[in-house]
Amino acid sequence: MLAALILTLTVPAALAAPPRAASLTLCADQYLLGLAAPEQIVAVSASAADPDQSLFAAEGARHPVHRGSSEELIALRAEVVLTDRWMPLQTAARLDRFGVRVISIPLPNSWEEIADTTRAIAAALGRPEQGEARVAEMRARLEGLERQTARRHATPPLAAYFLPDGGSAGAGTFIDAVLRAAGARNLATAVGLRGWGSFNLEQLTETQPDLAVLGFFDQGGDSRRMAFAHHPVFRRLLAGRPVIAVPDRYWACSGWFLTEAAAYIAGRLPAESAP
């Protein structure tokens, strides 16, 4: 799927002038604001300028906000619209009928997939050089983290990653890639989880991770989504070890900017693993 996306995006983009572009979702905002030239951007989503959600909030605040309707995007004369898989099919179909190119950003789960996706989106925006710059920036950051990890002279600490609803992420996810880049072992991977899933309470009581990494807890609240976060077993696990709550904006979605999440975690890891 990723290879098809790259072929579809790069070939036409090389022949055209930089298109007028808009983004429909928070993830699309990150790609658009990080790769497009400011003068290309006709509108961003309402989340783009939120500093709690968007890593590019300062840049997002400089552009108009749209309400997400196809009519509005057509009126703005957008030529390319970045979105993700959550975009309503009706909106995508209507934009396509008016000649607006809709690009659905995939969910890359490895650094190489992220590099390929970044290059492909940058090429579609007529900015291949910016794509290469972001990939180089990502790789330099990863190399720096690898050197930092090598200096620890200890077994990488075992990290338990949690979403507010109790979800976690094992092998083959970008969360696993981030934890490994930060210099930690992923508990979910260690217990055999592949892809997205969750721990059961028995696993949590039997395992002894060195730390907990929390993702997307910034939203808070007492909704059902946050019920697991208040569970006594979970609270006891947090009370007995370091907790790293990663700001939402560092991993709004899977892109080159995930190195920010990895660096944030790496800078807060315990010096040595628990015995």
Q: Express each pLDDT in 180-234 by its tens digit.
A: 999 999 999 999 999 999 987 777 778 889 999 999 987 655 566 677 888 888 8
Same domain, 65 and 130: yes
Instruction: Judge whether 8 lies within some domain.
Output: yes
The per-residue pLDDT for 234 is 87
The per-residue pLDDT for 7 is 44
Same domain, 162 and 124: no
Contact 125, 16 (CB under 8 A): no
- The last residue of one of the domains, among 111, 137, 163, is 137
166-170: Cβ within 8 A, 24+ apart: 166/198, 166/199, 166/228, 166/231, 166/234, 167/196, 167/197, 167/198, 168/193, 168/196, 168/197, 168/198, 168/199, 169/193, 169/195, 169/196, 169/197, 170/194, 170/195, 170/196, 170/197
**What gap in Å lies between CA 203 and CA 82, rounded to an integer?**
40
Same domain, 99 and 175: no
- The last residue of one of the domains, among 77, 108, 137, is 137
Same domain, 126 and 17: yes
* Start-end of H helices in 99-223: 111-124, 128-150, 174-182, 187-190, 201-206
Residues in the chain where the model's pLDDT stays below 70: 1-16, 86-89, 153, 219-225, 272-275
- The last residue of one of the domains, among 110, 137, 164, is 137
Same domain, 163 and 225: yes
Instruction: Judge whether 77 lies within some domain.
Output: yes
Contact 250, 218 (CB under 8 A): no
The per-residue pLDDT for 169 is 97
Residue range of the domain that includes 61:
2-137
Write the CATH number for 244: 3.40.50.1980
The per-residue pLDDT for 197 is 95
Instruction: Judge whether 274 lies within some domain.
Output: no
Same domain, 111 and 206: no
Instruction: Judge whether 74 lies within some domain.
Output: yes
The per-residue pLDDT for 5 is 55
The per-residue pLDDT for 219 is 66
Same domain, 159 and 206: yes
Same domain, 129 and 184: no
Name the domain count of the chain: 2
Same domain, 221 and 104: no
Instruction: Judge whether 273 lies within some domain.
Output: no
Same domain, 71 and 195: no
Same domain, 129 and 164: no
